Amino acid sequence: MIHYLKEQTQHAIGFTIANRGDCERLSDIIFEKLNVQISYNTLRRFFDLDKKHYKPRLNTLNILSQLLGYKNYLALCATFPEKNRWSSSKKIFIALGELNYSRLINILILERFKQTQFVNLFSLTIREFVFRQEFDLIDKLFRDKELALLTLSYSEKIHIGESVGSALKLATLKPKTIQKLLNNLVFTELVILTYVDYSTLKPGTYFQNFVVEALRIPNYKHHVFFKCIRYLGNYLMNKPLEKLNLRLSSTTHPILVSRVFSVRILDKIAHDKSFNTDVLALFTYKKKHQLNTNDFLYELRIVSLIMKNFKLMKCLIDESEKGITEFYQESHAQIHLLLHLIYATKNKDYKTINRIKPNFEPNKWALSYFSFLHIFYHILLYHQTDKTDFKRAHLRNFKEAAKNLGYTNFNHSYCIHYFD
């Protein structure tokens, strides 16, 4: 899609971006038409004039999309010409129908180079292989070096993870198949680590099956991640909790750092019987390692909701920064708004509630968290109304959502006494 944006921008302005002067000229055009400043240096990097690979910022993509007449980059993606999509999709469907791996990989490599709709076509292909139980071919595709999957942006990885993970949870997976997928570290990073399905953390379900098999692999690279997931699943099911010793490295992704700190908080409560949280230690670590705020707060927000820890919620609200830098962080922002609404409801802060509500869009929650977060959405609605009929309806919705999840922590009393 970025390749398409570059092409269309040059077509719209009537000249090719080939040097610094062209970038300065384009910068002037943007200012004249949109009254927005964008430096020639940013444009030089976007059009690859310095021969280095840079991941463009969302703001840059939005400005260039607006120059083409779209509201933002997301709107451009949504209206990408159907004939271009169909041409490539048709080739993929033919290759899949013939189960012609050589043709399929050639199409995907070409789309990867064009950077237009590779992520969608790749996800479609893998989903098809999941439904066909072609796990050897899935393993082969994720290992293909020409696709360079690990160089995708984190937003693109999230897209693949949600597309493939949502199909994978419906498949019948034998332990041998799970082991094969876990030993493919590219697949693990793009799918298993990004699509943590919070509706399947109890024994015998999709994600817990991956947890069980991962922890059987000696010296596995992602042991810390899977130990965190197992601990959270046990906590939600009121099962005995092990004492954890989880270590972090300087290269650990901020979301995993957040997950580790979240589990440490749960561990402290379970063994010390205390809701006190050493918040200073959390943010000292974040500052020391210069972690992205949106990513770092992600799992901490989730655990503050689970624990009904309003002290921690307040600290997370105060720490949050405005704006997002990648598409996947829109989900982070919406979880933040849920947290803020719950905290404001606790304090009967109606001014804040009225200010936040227009921007609150639960449909933007990550697919893997969607049903889980609705537990707290139903709690919020239950406590925000005084009308008996509405209360009954919201309590009924909560019970139905809780029953579908099957976590023993989420019972009738949990909803009724959430703010006590």
Of 37-41, 236-240, 258-262, 339-343, the range with the highest mean pLDDT is 339-343
pLDDT given at position 270: 67
Q: CB 31: neighbour CB atoms within 10 A?
A: 12
DSSP 242: P
List Cβ neighbours of 129 (8 Å cut-off, separation of 6 or more).
135, 137, 138, 141
Q: What is the mean pLDDT of residues 218-239?
A: 92
- CA 209/CA 288 separation, integer angstroms: 36
List Cβ neighbours of 207 (8 Å cut-off, separation of 6 or more).
169, 196, 197, 200, 201, 229
pLDDT given at position 83: 45
Residue type, 95: A
C-alpha distances in Å from residue 386, one per residue of 279, 324, 340, 375, 390? 34, 35, 20, 19, 8
- Phi, psi of 375, rounded to the nearest 5 degrees: -55, -50
Helix (H, G, I), strand (E, B) or coil at 272: helix
pLDDT given at position 271: 66
Closest CA to 345 of 313, 384, 303, 311: 384
- CA 24/CA 31 separation, integer angstroms: 11
pLDDT given at position 291: 83
- CA 266/CA 277 separation, integer angstroms: 10
How do the domains of the chain map onto residue ranges? 2-80, 81-195, 248-363, 366-420
Helix (H, G, I), strand (E, B) or coil at 4: helix
157-183 pLDDT, tens digit each = 988 999 999 999 989 899 999 999 999
Q: Compare 77 and 15 and report the one with higher pLDDT.
A: 15
55-79 pLDDT, tens digit each = 788 889 999 999 988 888 877 876 6
pLDDT at 54 > cutoff 80: no
pLDDT at 86 > cutoff 60: no
pLDDT given at position 114: 64
Give me the chain's average pLDDT, please. Answer: 87
142-154 pLDDT, tens digit each = 999 999 999 988 8
What tokens appear for 112 in the block?
């990867």
